[in-house]
Structure 1
Amino acid sequence: LLYRAKSLDDILNRITVTRANFTIQNMLKSCELEQENIDKILSVIESNPYDCVYALSDHQKKKLFDKVYPYIKKISKQQEEYIRGYLNQFEFNGKIAVCDVGWHGTIQNALQDIFEENEIYGYYIGKKEKRAKEKVKSEAFLFDNNYNKWIMREVMSAPDLFELFFLSTDGSARKYARDVSGKYYCVQAKPEQSEESAEDVIALQNAALKFVKEFKKLDNAINVQMNSCVCEAAFSAFINYPSADTIKHLKEFSFLNVESHSMVAQHSFGYYILRPKNFVSEFLNNGSKSIFLKSVLKLPLPYISIIDFLKKFDKQQ
């Protein structure tokens, strides 16, 4: 869909932008440009490839967009053709349900834009809409912008940790292609986790499934009303006051979607006292903030409230 962009901001609204300093070079790679073409673009623009795209002036953004767009348009139009071919192999038509953990309905929105003739409905564990455009046909079980906001506040304080329970250990979809026989297929990226970390994720998910099966037997006996508040209660207690044992177990889990490879802080309290900017940067980039804070402060504190306070310093929230 990037070929429909009219400006650099349109491109940034479409691609996955990490919170860490998102550079011009990061953006070009996210658009799936060949390295040869990236080098050509970087050789003719005035900006430094390591400049943050959000720090560029309107004039710089326009000049960069004018250089980048011809390359993006060619790839993007081909990819729209390929994803149509790929999904049509699975009779992707009529009324369609998209099921996902959450949060912004990005996949559903993109599919609806490509397949305008279809009626696509979204089912999510939690939904957090960013823009009015994203108010498509959807519903969420745990929370949305108008429902159970306190649950949203807790889950979104540690989305990486929450997503661990649903995370695939396969590589993400990079692009779509067509073989010599005309069949379309998905090209996957390398897995984001190490082999050891993937084993830990699978063990965690198996333990969660075991708990659900055992709880279901208990529920048959005592008839618990399984509403969204009941389902989130244990996670709420877990994330508000993480134990030292929890920190120890999660220390080795790796996440490569941010510059830090861990949910746990990499330095001591003393280190951050001397380097407050490092603390703020690592805190804002971390996807499991209560785990991060507990690993630094060690104390049994109301971490969700602390997170709410510290988020006031986040200019990108």
Structure 2
Amino acid sequence: MKYYLENDSDLQKSKKIIDKYDYIGFDIFDTLLKRNTTSPHDIFEIVNYYFKKEYSRSIEEFPKKRISSETQIWEKSYGEELTLDFIYDSISNINERDKEILKEIEIQCEILYCQNNLRLFDLYNYCVKRHKSIVLISDMYLPKNVIKKMLSNSGITQYSDIFISGEEHKSKARGSLFDLVLSSKNINPKNMLFIGDSLKSDFLIPRFKKINTIKVPTNPSNCQYFKQGDFKNLNLNERVLLSCINNNAYKYKDYNRIGYEILGPLLIGFCYWLKLELKKYNLNNVYFLSRDGFIVKKAFDILYGQEFNTYYFCVSRKSLSVPLLCDVKKVDNLRELIKFRKNETLSGVLNRLGLEVNSLDISEITFKRERIFNDKNITKEIEKYLPEIRKNAKKQKSLFLKYANEHIKENRIGLVDIGWHGSMQDYLHDLLPGLSVEGFYFGLDRNVSNKKHAYLNNSENDLFDPQLISSFRGVIETFFSAYHGSTDSYSPNGAVFCKESVDFKTLEIIKNIHQGAIQLVQDVNRLLLDMPLSANFVYYPMNQLLTKPTISEIKLFRDISFSDVTNKKLLPSDLSFFKLLLHPYKTYKLFMDSDWRIGFLKQLFKLPLRYDSFMKFITKKFS
């Protein structure tokens, strides 16, 4: 039987080993418990951060002094004399009052940033269910009562005894703590199994004492999309976020995991940036536009809702553009007001112009959008409906102004949306000329106004490539979609949502992604510090999915219906290279109509190619 465990399969096999013993010993830190930091030394930086936050001053080189003191004591006694009190007593050039404050902050930070190790928690619970006598053994300077509280907070309460080097003045590293456990509990070493992460202290030393051992990984990578080795020089806040993801992603699968590792970090980074921007422009009232602002508002309210007044404002390009058609005299006036699809039908055009088309007798011929303005027959057909379009527009303008006046009570507001063009901000400017609006977006196709601000592409970041938006628009908008239809129009009672056919499978997928994302927001809410999160860092896993998807990710998203207007699938389920050879033109049309062209190419060819570079090239070449 293998006693050196490296993966989940080995951990499950260890249950068979556990069954052979009456006494099971566990190491505590990096075995039963994990810190939400990439290194134990990060805690000392966090201590200094909170000290400075509370007292408006910092202790010069505190982390370095704290580490040095601990190291010197350890080297002299192999941990047998290492206690928190002794560590702080040995630090020079810090007054006694500050030492006591720092020591208390360290204890509270250790408690706050600690959680159970999900992999080992399963083994611990197995031992409890099998009625094993569980003994916890640790080389640690923290007081026993503090460690017991950390264990209790992590759901670890059922154990027969706990031995801490700092309390017993003996250590695992020297073997003396194992001697104490065996003698005080009257345990035959051959009837005991010890589980821990340290090769020397938890594996070799107890084996020398005739105790059987299982070695578990110290810092396994649990992330599927967010690898710890992908970044260097992360700031403290980023290390906390990454550690929290790595410690918890293990328990999530498929869409929950995508939400936890991909959407969650992006929401957290954007919300922190948004908070800073709102304060920069002295804005207390922020309006999240439906539908893409739905999940963003949910995350922002958890993180910073107590600092701002937040509202969910029901609008869409259609609901805001139709009221602007009151004075339209000819079809050519529509060029700047309405965004038509690449391929249109007459009913689609009239619907976009605000008419209820179900009652109209209209032919359903598909045509390119350029023909709306260039084809006299189509232009003439649309002009027949202009009087009715103007009449409906006046009604909708009146109803929208009523809705806006009921919900907007200020002269200056912040507006939040996913981005691309920021056209709804322009519409609001035309409909509410007395309202000053600052727009905040994830990414913008073009910065056409100093009133529009983008998170991913601004003076500091250039991560969002407008040339690639058509290559993955469907995926990212699906991530941010709400659970209701888009805003179609307004009635005296408020916004009216489109009666779109609901794809329940897609709705369930979106909910699972959102559930994972919000869970991460909740997990890190108490842990995050008031310092920036690099846009490059939080956008990385999303960008990897959008531009370098794997075959397994293609399968996860293949059947999702992209609910813009057409409700079509993101990717054809029957796409293959063989069909490309049989029907090249049909495949080309499907590709051009796809809302995830990079995913389309990956599904078609299945090779590890730079499809994103190819899309940049053809977009630039044929734009």
Q: TM-score range by the shorter chain?
A: 0.7 to 0.9
The one of 345, 349, 365 aligned to 1:27: 349
- Does the 8 Å CA contact 2:347/2:357 hold for their aligned counterparts? no
Q: Residue 294 of structure 1: CA displacement?
A: 1.0
Taking a change above 3 Å as real, the CA distance of residues 100 and 55 of structure 1, as seen in their structure-2 partners, is same
Q: Which amino acid aligns with 1:284?
A: M
Q: Residue 91 of structure 1: CA displacement?
A: 3.4
Q: Residue 175 of structure 1: CA displacement?
A: 0.7
Taking a change above 3 Å as real, the CA distance of residues 65 and 190 of structure 1, as seen in their structure-2 partners, is closer
Q: Which residue of 1 aligns with 2:433?
A: 116
Q: How far apart, CA to CA, are the structure 2 residues paired with 1:217 and 1:155?
A: 34
Q: Which amino acid aligns with 1:14?
A: L
Structure 1 unpaired stretches of 5+:
179-183
The one of 543, 551, 559 aligned to 1:252: 559
Which stretch of structure 1 is more off in the superposition, 192-201 or 57-66?
57-66
Which stretch of structure 1 is more off in the superposition, 96-105 or 191-200?
191-200
Q: Residue 50 of structure 1: CA displacement?
A: 3.5
- Does the 8 Å CA contact 1:103/1:128 hold for their aligned counterparts? yes
Report SS of the residue matched to 2:560: coil
Report SS of the residue matched to 1:293: helix
Q: How far apart, CA to CA, are the structure 2 residues paired with 1:299 and 1:306?
A: 13
- Does the 8 Å CA contact 2:350/2:357 hold for their aligned counterparts? no
Q: Deviations over 1:229-277 (max 9, x none)?
A: 2221122222232111101111221124365722223422221233232
Taking a change above 3 Å as real, the CA distance of residues 173 and 301 of structure 1, as seen in their structure-2 partners, is same
Q: How far apart, CA to CA, are the structure 2 residues paired with 1:36 and 1:292?
A: 34
- The answer to whether residue 10 in structure 2 is matched with residue 10 in structure 1 is no
Report SS of the residue matched to 1:101: strand
Matches within 5 A, 1:117-156: 117-129=434-446, 134-135=448-449, 137-143=451-457, 148=462, 151-154=465-468
Q: Which residue of 2 aligns with 1:83?
A: 400
Structure 2 unpaired stretches of 5+:
1-323
The one of 170, 186, 192 aligned to 2:495: 186
Report SS of the residue matched to 1:202: helix
Q: Which residue of 2 aligns with 1:171?
A: 485
Q: Residue 106 of structure 1: CA displacement?
A: 1.6
Taking a change above 3 Å as real, the CA distance of residues 146 and 36 of structure 1, as seen in their structure-2 partners, is same
Q: How far apart, CA to CA, are the structure 2 residues paired with 1:188 and 1:7?
A: 28
Matches within 5 A, 1:136-285: 137-143=451-457, 148=462, 151-154=465-468, 157-178=471-492, 184-191=493-500, 193-214=502-523, 226-257=533-564, 261-266=568-573, 267-285=575-593
Q: How far apart, CA to CA, are the structure 2 residues paired with 1:189 and 1:126?
A: 26
Which stretch of structure 1 is more off in the superposition, 76-85 or 65-74?
65-74
Q: Residue 164 of structure 1: CA displacement?
A: 2.4
TM-score w.r.t. structure 2 length? 0.44
Q: Which amino acid aligns with 1:18?
A: R
Q: Residue 172 of structure 1: CA displacement?
A: 0.9
- Does the 8 Å CA contact 1:193/1:254 hold for their aligned counterparts? no
Q: Which residue of 1 aligns with 2:370?
A: 54
Report SS of the residue matched to 2:420: coil
Q: Deviations over 1:166-208 (max 9, x none)?
A: 2102011111012xxxxx3111112464122101111012123
Taking a change above 3 Å as real, the CA distance of residues 28 and 246 of structure 1, as seen in their structure-2 partners, is same
Report SS of the residue matched to 1:120: strand
Q: Which residue of 1 aligns with 2:276?
A: none
Q: How far apart, CA to CA, are the structure 2 residues paired with 1:59 and 1:268?
A: 41
Q: Which amino acid aligns with 2:328?
A: A
Q: How far apart, CA to CA, are the structure 1 residues paired with 2:386 and 2:460?
A: 38
Q: How far apart, CA to CA, are the structure 2 residues paired with 1:15 and 1:145?
A: 30
Which stretch of structure 1 is more off in the superposition, 107-116 or 5-14?
5-14
Q: Which residue of 2 aligns with 1:181?
A: none
- Does the 8 Å CA contact 1:8/1:61 hold for their aligned counterparts? no
Q: How far apart, CA to CA, are the structure 1 residues paired with 2:461 and 2:385?
A: 41
Which stretch of structure 1 is more off in the superposition, 48-57 or 156-165?
48-57
- Percent identity, aligned pairs only, is 24
Q: Which residue of 1 aligns with 2:609?
A: 301
Q: How far apart, CA to CA, are the structure 1 residues paired with 2:559 and 2:386?
A: 40
Q: Which amino acid aligns with 2:349?
A: M
CA RMSD in angstroms comes to 3.0
Which stretch of structure 1 is more off in the superposition, 163-172 or 107-116?
163-172
- The answer to whether residue 411 in structure 2 is matched with residue 94 in structure 1 is yes
Report SS of the residue matched to 2:384: helix
Report SS of the residue matched to 1:116: coil
- Does the 8 Å CA contact 2:490/2:496 hold for their aligned counterparts? yes
Q: Which amino acid aligns with 2:433?
A: E
Q: Which residue of 2 aligns with 1:286?
A: 594
- Does the 8 Å CA contact 2:475/2:546 hold for their aligned counterparts? no
Q: Which amino acid aligns with 1:139?
A: H
Q: Residue 216 of structure 1: CA displacement?
A: 6.6
Q: Residue 105 of structure 1: CA displacement?
A: 1.0
- Does the 8 Å CA contact 1:169/1:191 hold for their aligned counterparts? no
TM-score w.r.t. structure 1 length? 0.81
Q: Which residue of 2 aligns with 1:68?
A: 385
Larger radius of gyration between Structure 1 and Structure 2: 2
- Does the 8 Å CA contact 1:169/1:193 hold for their aligned counterparts? no
Q: Residue 148 of structure 1: CA displacement?
A: 1.0
